[in-house]
Amino acid sequence: MKNPVIVLLLTVIIGSIGAADTDSFRFIDHLLQLQEPGRPQVLEDAVIFTAPSSYRRVGIAFAHEGFSRVYLFKRLMTPNENSGPWINEKPPADLYRDSGLFFYIYRIPEELRDTLEYRLIIDGLWVRDPLNPDYRMDPNSGIVRSVVILPPIHRPDSPNRGPEGTLTFTFYAEPGETVTVAGSFNRWDPFMYELREQSPGRYTLSLPLPPGTYQYAFFYRGERRLDPNNPRRIYTREGKAANEASVE
């Protein structure tokens, strides 16, 4: 049986951020610790932007994209302090409340080195971020842009790196075992892809996949196993932990 606290947190957050925002799942613990909106925070390879949820709508656009695309903030909902356990699969709406925060998580593009410049769109008006004291004026347009100073970001080689256009999965176990891998690339079918034992106890499989970010987990002796060699971990919509890897 799933831990009801974990299920509640995931249901609340996933319900407000949408199915595709898997980056948000990586930072669930950090988001839940935020007490109030503040200046942008760099965490791992992403920037977390926040704003008061008293606004009707908040968006963000970036200078390196020519301000051509607006990304909408999501509302962070948290459990009520007095909410207890429940029996039904879907918790009632009064079990959680508005935390007072809008948030958006933006993965830092690899081509950016020093700064990330942006503007907010608050209730339809383009403004600089009122919670960020760092800003600059574009000399050509005279428009003020908010600025995030980027620290050096260490991007380790992926443990899933293989031939171009593939992900390589490696698992270590007793010799002569059956190990499979499943993920968002095959609708989590645990029987479709079996790793081959390349040497005693070392099982591998390379899958050709289109460019994109994928979630996966191993299945060994009837149990779901995470990849201990891959530190990138997220929660799926079902509240299960999974690893994440990308094909460039």
CA dist 129 and 10 (Å) reads 29
Residues 120 and 20 in one domain: yes
CA dist 16 and 14 (Å) reads 5
Q: Of 124, 149, 174, which residue is a domain's last?
A: 149
The CA-atom distances, in angstroms, between 199 and each of 81, 170, 182, 195, 196 are 53, 11, 22, 12, 9
3-class SS letters over 95-138: HEEEEEEEEEEEECCCCCCCEEEEEEEECCEEECCCCCCCEEEC
Give me the number of domains the chain comprises.
2
Residues in the chain: 248
Residues 143 and 205 in one domain: no
Residue 159 resides in a domain:
no
* pLDDT tens-digit readout, 165-215: 899 999 988 889 999 999 999 999 999 999 999 988 889 999 999 988 899
Q: Could you tell me if 193 and 180 are in contact, meaning their C-beta atoms sit under 8 angstroms apart?
A: yes
- 32/9: higher pLDDT: 32
Residue 160 resides in a domain:
no
Enumerate helices (H) and strands (E) in the chain, giving the number of each: 3, 19
Residue 69 resides in a domain:
yes
Q: What CATH number did the domain enclosing 213 receive?
A: 2.60.40.10
Q: Which range marks the domain in which residue 17 is found?
A: 4-149
* pLDDT tens-digit readout, 116-137: 999 999 999 999 999 999 999 9
Residues 114 and 229 in one domain: no
